[in-house]
């Protein structure tokens, strides 16, 4: 199979007060924050010259970004060959939510796991975010 998960791209979760929570994590753990949260940078084991990132992001408790899921969190997985992966998932009966979206930092698609949690799939281009 050509399409696959290569790592965690981000962890997104609902928060009663995202601004206060980001401030607490910044003060308590020394994490630098931006409007989205914190970006952890790391190196690709298979290509050590490649710098990658994983996003940590508290979001408003009333966000509809995870819809149709009712879960309190959503995991973003870094993937290779998004189109092939989606084709494989659809062939297995996995429900895709919405259309693929493209940005300068990569392409995104969403599916539901068997328990109804929304999963974000990201075919990354890390450079614009670093």
| CATH of segment(s) 4-129 | 3.10.180.10
Tens of pLDDT, residue by residue over 64-80, are 999 999 999 999 999 99
Its pTM stands at 0.90
Tens of pLDDT, residue by residue over 25-64, are 999 999 999 999 999 999 988 888 888 899 999 999 999 9
Cα→Cα distances 61→32, 45, 84, 95, Å:
22, 35, 33, 25
Residue boundaries of the structural domains of the chain: 4-129
Tens of pLDDT, residue by residue over 79-104, are 999 999 999 999 999 999 999 999 99
Residue 91, classed as helix, strand or coil, is helix
Contact, 86 vs 10, CB < 8 A?
A: no
Beta-sheet pairing, 4-15 with 47-60: parallel
């Amino acid at each position: 199979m050509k399409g696959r998960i290569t790592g965690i791209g981000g962890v997104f979760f609902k928060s009663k007060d995202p601004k206060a929570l980001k401030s607490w994590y910044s003060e308590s753990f020394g994490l630098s924050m931006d409007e989205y949260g914190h970006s952890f940078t790391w190196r690709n084991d298979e290509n050590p010259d490649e710098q990658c990132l994983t996003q940590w992001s508290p979001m408003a408790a009333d966000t509809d970004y995870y819809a149709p899921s009712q879960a309190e969190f959503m995991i973003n997985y870094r993937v290779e060959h998004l189109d092939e992966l989606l084709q494989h998932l659809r062939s297995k009966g996995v429900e895709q939510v919405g259309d693929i979206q493209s940005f300068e930092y990569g392409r995104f698609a969403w599916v539901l796991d068997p328990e109804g949690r929304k999963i974000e799939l990201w075919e990354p281009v890390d450079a614009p975010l670093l």
